[in-house]
Amino acid sequence: MAALILILLLALILGGAGFAVHILWWIAVIVAVLWLLGFVFRSAGTGGTRGRWYRW
């Protein structure tokens, strides 16, 4: 009985971790797309040079 509970608990933990990793991959893809779009749509800086699109 204890082995069955351990197997079910392990399956629950691994299933939850797989779901979390899947969500993190989607977040990483969205951030990468926004980062690349920042390079495309950045505004021109002073002197005609292209400036940074972030503040820091």
Domain spans, the chain: 2-38
pLDDT for res 55? 58
Of 46 and 13, more confident? 13
pLDDT at residue 56 greater than cutoff 70: no
pLDDT for res 40? 77
pLDDT at residue 44 greater than cutoff 80: no
Enter the pTM of the model: 0.56
Using the Cα atoms of residue 16, residue 22, residue 28 and residue 30 in order, give the sign of their dihedral: negative
Question: CA separation (Å) from 32 to 3, 21, 26, 28, 29?
Answer: 43, 16, 10, 6, 5
pLDDT interval class at 43 (50, 70, 90): low
pLDDT at residue 30 greater than cutoff 90: yes
